A and B are shown apart, each in its own frame.
Chain A
Amino acid sequence: MGQSEVQGHLDAMLLAVLQGTPLHGYALLEELRRRSGGKFDLAEGTIYPALHRLEGSGLLSSRWEVVDGRRRRVYAISSRGRQAAGEQIESWRRFSRAIEAVLSPVTETRP
Chain B
Amino acid sequence: MSAKGPKDPISIYICELKGHLRARGLRRRRIAEEVQAHLEQSSSEMCERRLEAHEAMTAAIGRFGAPEQVAAQFNRQPAARRLLERRLVVLWVSWIAAMGMGSATVWAAVSGPEAHAARSSLAPQHISGSAAPHRRTCPACEGLVRRCALPSPQESAGRAAARTAVRESSRSRRTACP
Contacts and interface: CB of A to CB of B under 8 A. Distances in A.
Contacts of A48: 31, 34-35, 38, 70, 74
A70 B73 contact: no
A49 B30 contact: no
Which 6 pairs across A and B sit closest by C-beta, in order of nearness? A45-B65, A49-B73, A45-B70, A43-B65, A45-B64, A44-B64
A84 to B, nearest CB: 14
A44 B78 contact: no
5 contacts: A43-B69, A49-B73, A72-B37, A73-B34, A73-B37
Contacts of B69: 43, 45
Interface residues of A, number: 18
Q: Give the dominant DSSP class at A's interface.
A: helix
A46 B65 contact: yes
Contacts of A24: 37
* Chain B residues touching A, range: 20 to 34
B22 to A, nearest CB: 12
A98 B52 CA distance: 49
Nearest to B30: A73
Nearest to A52: B74
Contact of B70 (A25, A49, A57): A49
Interface in A33-87: 43-46, 48-50, 52-53, 56-57, 70-73
B160 to A, nearest CB: 75
Interface of A: 24-26, 43-46, 48-50, 52-53, 56-57, 70-73
Contacts of A73: 30, 33-34, 37
A26 B65 contact: no
Contacts of B81: 56
Contacts of B40: 70
A43 B31 contact: no
Given A26-B41, A49-B70, A72-B37, A44 B80 contact: no
A49 B72 CA distance: 9
Given A26-B42, A56-B81, A57-B78, A45 B33 contact: no
Nearest to A27: B41
Given A26-B41, A45-B65, A73-B37, 12 more contacts: A26-B42, A43-B63, A44-B42, A44-B63, A44-B64, A48-B31, A48-B74, A49-B74, A49-B76, A52-B74, A72-B37, A73-B34
Interface in B15-70: 30-31, 33-35, 37-38, 40-42, 63-65, 69-70
B60 to A, nearest CB: 8
A54 to B, nearest CB: 10
Contacts of A53: 78
A71 B78 CA distance: 27
